[in-house]
Amino acid sequence: MSSSFKHKTLNHTFITVIYLFLLVLVIPWYWPENDARQFYGFPFWALASLGVLFLTSVFTAMLCLQNAESACEKVG
């Protein structure tokens, strides 16, 4: 197993773990169901979910702007 293959696998695992972590938080299962409090018209649970979603956008944009390692890979 080459070091570049190991590095790539680790990289993909790290990205998947981060996305799964964000997925767990973006669905507001942890928020009390009957909480009707709001901030500027947005329920608190909605703001929490949108906040995590924004982090997901930032993470995705960062990944997109990374230098292409896949551009010269062979087709699967």
Partner 1 sequence: MRESRVSNLLPFGFGAWLFFSAYLCSLLLLGWLGRKARKEDSLQDFYLAGRGFSFFVLFLTLYATQYSGNTVFGVTGASYRLGFPWLISVHYMLAIIVFMRTYAFKLQTLARSRNYVTPVDYLKDRFHSRLLATISSIVMIVALSNYLLAQLMTMGRALQGLAGPAGDIAYNYGVISLALIMVIYGTLGGLRAIAWTDVIQGSVLFVGFFVLLLLVINQFGPLSIATETIAKASDLDKLERPNSSMLREWLSYIFLVGIGGALYPQFIQRIYSARTTQGLRQSFAVMAFMPFITALIAVIIGIYALAYIPGLEGAATDQALSSILRIVQEQSLFGYALVVLIFSAVLAALMSTADSAMLSISSMFIKDIYGVHIRPNASEQELTRLGKRCSWIVVGLLSLLAILLKEQTSLIGLLDRKFDLLVQLAPAFMLGIHWSGLRTGPVLIGLVLGIIIALTLAFGPFSFVVAGKVWGFHPGLYGLAVNLSYAILGSRWLARRENFDPI
- Site residues (vs partner 1, CB under 8 A): 19, 23, 26-29, 31-36, 38, 40-43, 45-46, 49-50, 53-54, 56-58, 60-65, 68, 70-76
Nearest CB to partner 1, comparing residues 1 and 64: 64
Count CA within 13 A, CB hemisphere, residue 15: 13
Q: Tokens for 47, please give them.
A: 């703001």
Yes or no: say if 44 and 58 are a contact pair by the CB < 8 Å rule. no
Question: What is the spatial distance between Cα 4 and Cα 1, in angstroms, rounded to a whole number?
Answer: 8
Q: How far is the CB of 8 from partner 1 (least distance, A)?
A: 10
Residue 3 or 67: the one with the smaller Cβ distance to partner 1 is 67
